Structure 1
C-alpha cells in the first residue's frame, strides 16, 4: 500500500498518526537487535517506517534487505530511502526492482550526502544530479506504482543559502510527482510553522510530516545538528546546561520537549509526525504513552499475528501457532511457496516447506547477553527458575521467545510462572477468550465491531515421567487435546484427527468466520525440529562438558515437547486445573522467583 493513501485516510478520519525512521546497523548482531526492535515498536501502531540509505550508498544492500524483511516478516509498511550519491541509473533500477519484488511501494527520494572523505557533493557518471531527477525517473519508468516522498528543509538546505529558491526546488519535486514531504529535524517550532505557511503560499498542498528527534544526550545533540547546521534556540541550550552531564535528565527533557512540540503541532492542525528514532525505543514509546495516543486496533492487529506485506502472501490468513514467537523462521521456511490456497498457510509435507538448515536457528542474542540472562543452570530447578523469571518479566528472553510476554499473556503470567516451578518449561501460551470486542486493547484484533474468541493454549517441555502423569490426568477431561513429541520424533496424541484445530477465530460484520491460528500434527512435527535445536544452540554457549551444557543436552535428548488445547473456551480456568494449581501456589511462586 502506498503511504500517501494511509496518510490521507488518517487525515480524513481526523486522527493523529506517526511513523518511525531506522538506520542499518554496522554489525550482524546489531541488525538482529534492530529486527527485534522493529517487531516491538510496530505494536505502537506506526503508519509506516522508513530505512535510511548510507552516505554514498554504503549500506544499500543492507537497506534493501531490512526493507524486504520488515515487509515480509513483520508486516510493517516500509519506505526505502534512495539517494543519487554514487548511484548510476542501472543501480537505481536494481534498488527499485528489489523494492518492488518484496512488496515495497514507497521511496524517499533524496540527493544524498557526499561519500565519506568527500567534502562536496558530485553526481557520478550515468547518475542523477538532484532528487527531482530521481523523482522524474521513478515516475517515468514505474508510473504510479511507487509512492514517493521527498525531504523538506524548514531552515533551508545547507547547500542553498537562498530559502526562497530552496522552497521553489521543493515545489518542483512535488510537481514532478512526489506525494508528500518529510522534513529534516528541527528545534525551532515557530520556524517550522513559518515553513509550512510558506509552502502553502507557493502552492505546495501535499501533506508535510514534521521530523522530530527526541534529544538523547548533550554531545549527541551537538553531533546531530552538525550534519545540517541545525539551529537550536538559546532557551534549549540554557535548559540543558545545568543537566548536560546527566543523561537520564537529558532524555527526560528531550521527551518533554518533543511532547510540547507535538501538542503545538496538533493545535496548529498538523496531525502527523515522523520520529527520527536513531534505532532507540524508550523515548518514542514514552512520548506516545504520555500523549495517550493509541493507533486503531485494526491497524495494529488486523489478525492475531501481523500479516506479511509480501505480494505472494497477500491472501494468507491462517498460520500454525507454533511459530508465534519466531516469525522470521516461519516466513523463511515458507517463502518459496507458490501460493496460500484458500488463505491457508499450506502443508508442511510439501517439498517446498524449507528445511531447518539455513533458516537461522539462533538465540538472537550474543553469548555475553545470554550468559547475563541465564547464568549457569546446573539443575532442573534452576532451569525452572529461569523460565519462571521470564514469565514474571525478570528474565529478558528465552531461546524460544526473544521478546517479552505478549500483552495477552501478561494476565496469566503468575500462573505460567507457577506451572514452570512444577517442572513444565513453557514456551508459548494464550488464555481463553469468549467473545470480547475486536477493539479490546488486550485481546482484540481485526475490523471494527467484531467479536473474537480463542481457546486456552499452552506449549512446554516436560520430562517423560511427568508426561505420563500429565496425560493420565488429561484423559479424564474430554475437552483437552494434545500432541507430544520427543527429539527422535515419537509422537503421542489423544485425537484421532491430524487435521487443523482452530484456536483463534473472529466474527465480523459482513464477513465469514475467520480462523487465523491453528494447531495441527503435521505442522507441529515440522516445528519440533526447530524447538529442540534451540536447546543445542543454548548448550553451545557453555564449555562442552560443563554441568550446564550436559543438563541442556539431556533435556533436549530425553524430554518431550507438548502442546495442550482446552477446547472449552467458555471456561477460562479449565486448563490450569490440569496442573492442580491453587491460589496459594501461584502467589508463592510469583513472590519467590528472584533473578
Structure 2
C-alpha cells in the first residue's frame, strides 16, 4: 500500500490518536551483513512499523543489493517497503531498471532524491543521460508509472550546504510537491523548536502533504557530534549539558540520549504538525526500540489484540504475484527465504487452495534460486555458531540449544523458535537427548482462539486447529522397527526418504495434501494454510541433504575431517522422516510415545 494512503487510513481509524513510526536501513557491504540485517528487520517487524525504507547506493554491486533488499523485505518479510532512488551516477536506463524491479516486487513507495556527490568527486554533477534535480526524477516517475508509486522527497529544516536561503529551500520543496510528490521525509535534527517553526512555514507555503521527521538516535557521543557537524545542524544547549559530562560512557550516553530524543519527539507530536516518526536505525535496533518504548508506541496488551495477529500462520508476502497464496507446506516453516525463492517463478494462479502443486513446478527443481549457498551464514560464521561437531551427541546438543533459545538458527532453520512449541518442548528435548534429531515440529491444538497472541492467526472470533507434527532424522538401522511400530491401523501417517530418494510411506493416497493446520471463522470457508504432501516433501528432502552437504564442505575447507565424516554419515545412513498424528482431539502424546520405543 502507498505510504500516504496508510497514514490516511490510520488517521481515520479508531486508533488514530496513537502516532505511527517507520525505520530506515542501509545496504550492508558483505553477504553476512545482509543476513544479519534480514534477521534484525525480521525482529523489528514485531513492533508493527507502518513501513521501512532501504537506502540507495548508486552504481555497482550495492545498487543491486538495494533492489534485492526491497524485494526480500516485501516478498519474504511482509514489510511495506520504500526504496530510495537517487540521481547520482544514474542514467535513465539504470533508473528504469530499478523502478521496474521495485514495481515487480510489489513495492509502491519511492523516496526520490538527487543524492550526494560520490566520494572524492568534488561538487555534485549529473551523469550523462541522467537527471539534475530530484524534482526531475519525481516528474519522470509520475509520468512513467502514473499513480502506482507514492513518491517521497527530502527536506532540510536547517538548510542545505549548497543553498543558504531557507525560503528558497521551501520554494524548491514546493516545486517537488507540484511535480507529483506525496510525502516529505526530513533530514535529521535535534532542535524541536527550529523544526516546528519550519513546519509552520512549509504549511504557509501551501504544502499540505504529510511531513515525516527523520529521527536519529544517539548511540555514542562521538557519532552524535560527527553527524551533527556533517549535517550542519544546531545542537540545543540541553543536549550538550547532559551528554558532555558522560561522553566517555557509551551506555550512559545512549540512555540519556534516549531521554533527550524521546522528549524531542513528544514535543513534535504535541505540535500538531507530526503524527509519524521515521527512525534512522543505522542498521541497529536497540536505540530505536528504546525511543519507541519511552514514547509508549510499542504494541502491548492494551492494543487491539486482532491488530497484532497474523492473517495466516506464516508471514504473508506483499509480492503482487503471491496475493492469492493461502497454502504452504510445513517443511519450510523455518526457512521462509528459500521457500519464497523456490516459488518466485510461479505465476499468480499457481498458489493453490487445495492440492499444492506438481513436480513440473520450478519450486521443486533449481536450488540455485536460493542463492549461491543454502546455509544463510558465511563459512566463518557457521563455525562460530555451530562449532565442529564430531558426534551425533554434538548435533543433538546444538538442537537442544536451539530449543532453549541459546541459538537463534540452525543450518536447516533460519529463524528463531517461537513459543508455539512450549507444550511439547520437554518431549523435543528428550528426543534429542536420546539422539533422535528433530528438524521441525508443531503441537496439537484443538480449538484455540484465533486472537491467541502465540498461536493465533486469521480473522477475529475464530478457532484454530493443528495436528501434531514432527520431522526428524532416523537411522536406517531402525527403519524396520519404526515401520513395525507405526503400522497401518493407527492415526499416524508418515513419509520417510533417504538421500538416494527411496521413499517409505503409509499414506493412503500419496498425491493427497494432508492439512495439518486449519482455522474456522464466522461467515467464511475453512482455511487450511499449512499442509504435508509428498511432492513438496521430496523437494524439501533435496534441499535438506544439500544443506548437510554444504555444511560438510565447509568443514572440509577448514580442515575438520572428523566433522566431515559425521556429516557424511548423516547423509548416507539416515532418513528424513515426517510424521503426523491425525487425531487432533486425543490428549495422548502418540508420536513421542512411539519414538520412545526406538531409544
TM-score by length of 2: 0.89
> Partner of 1:330 in structure 2?
339
For residues 105-153 of structure 1, the C-alpha deviation after alignment (integer angstroms, 9 at most, x for no partner) is 2110111111111232222333222211211121122211111111122
Aligned equivalent of 1:293, options 295, 298, 301: 298
Contact 1:68-1:102 at 8 Å conserved across structures: yes
> Partner of 1:340 in structure 2?
350
> Partner of 1:514 in structure 2?
527
Aligned equivalent of 1:222, options 200, 203, 225: 225
List alignment gaps of at least 5 residues for structure 1: 582-595
Describe the shift of the 1:271–1:504 C-alpha distance in structure 2 as closer, same or farther (beyond 3 A). farther
Aligned equivalent of 1:283, options 283, 287, 292: 287
For residues 528-584 of structure 1, the C-alpha deviation after alignment (integer angstroms, 9 at most, x for no partner) is 011112112222222466222211210121111112222233456635652688xxx
> In the TM superposition, what is the alpha-carbon distance from 1:303 to its structure 2 partner?
1.5
Distance, in Å, in 2 between the alignment partners of 1:434 and 1:198 is: 59
> Partner of 1:7 in structure 2?
7
Pair 1:349 & 2:359 matched = yes
Contact 1:40-1:403 at 8 Å conserved across structures: no
> Partner of 1:538 in structure 2?
551
Aligned equivalent of 1:186, options 167, 186, 189: 189
How do 1:295-444 residues align onto structure 2 when only pairs under 5 Å count? 298=307, 301-338=310-347, 339-340=349-350, 342-343=352-353, 346-353=356-363, 354-357=365-368, 359-360=370-371, 361-410=373-422, 412-444=424-456
Distance, in Å, in 2 between the alignment partners of 1:182 and 1:145 is: 19
Q: Secondary structure at the match of 2:252?
A: helix
Describe the shift of the 1:109–1:567 C-alpha distance in structure 2 as closer, same or farther (beyond 3 A). same
Describe the shift of the 1:268–1:257 C-alpha distance in structure 2 as closer, same or farther (beyond 3 A). same
Distance, in Å, in 2 between the alignment partners of 1:488 and 1:58 is: 38
Distance, in Å, in 1 between the alignment partners of 2:239 and 2:494 is: 61
| Number of equivalenced pairs | 581
> Partner of 1:237 in structure 2?
240
> In the TM superposition, what is the alpha-carbon distance from 1:322 to its structure 2 partner?
0.7
For residues 370-425 of structure 1, the C-alpha deviation after alignment (integer angstroms, 9 at most, x for no partner) is 22222222222222111101110122321011222124235644443232112121
Distance, in Å, in 2 between the alignment partners of 1:140 and 1:180 is: 17
Aligned equivalent of 1:574, options 589, 593, 598: 589
Backbone CA RMSD of aligned residues: 2.7
Distance, in Å, in 2 between the alignment partners of 1:533 and 1:57 is: 31
Contact 1:319-1:345 at 8 Å conserved across structures: no
For residues 240-294 of structure 1, the C-alpha deviation after alignment (integer angstroms, 9 at most, x for no partner) is 2233233333333344444434444444454322121111123334444553622
List alignment gaps of at least 5 residues for structure 2: none
Q: Secondary structure at the match of 1:542?
A: helix
Q: Secondary structure at the match of 1:185?
A: coil
> Partner of 1:553 in structure 2?
568
> In the TM superposition, what is the alpha-carbon distance from 1:486 to its structure 2 partner?
1.5
Distance, in Å, in 2 between the alignment partners of 1:150 and 1:73 is: 27
Contact 2:58-2:89 at 8 Å conserved across structures: no
Describe the shift of the 1:519–1:163 C-alpha distance in structure 2 as closer, same or farther (beyond 3 A). same
TM-score by length of 1: 0.90
Aligned equivalent of 1:562, options 577, 581, 598: 577
Contact 2:309-2:451 at 8 Å conserved across structures: no
Distance, in Å, in 2 between the alignment partners of 1:346 and 1:440 is: 27
> Partner of 1:34 in structure 2?
37
> Partner of 1:491 in structure 2?
503
Q: Pick which of 358-367 and 203-212 moved more.
A: 358-367
For residues 36-79 of structure 1, the C-alpha deviation after alignment (integer angstroms, 9 at most, x for no partner) is 33233323322221111126788322212221232223222211
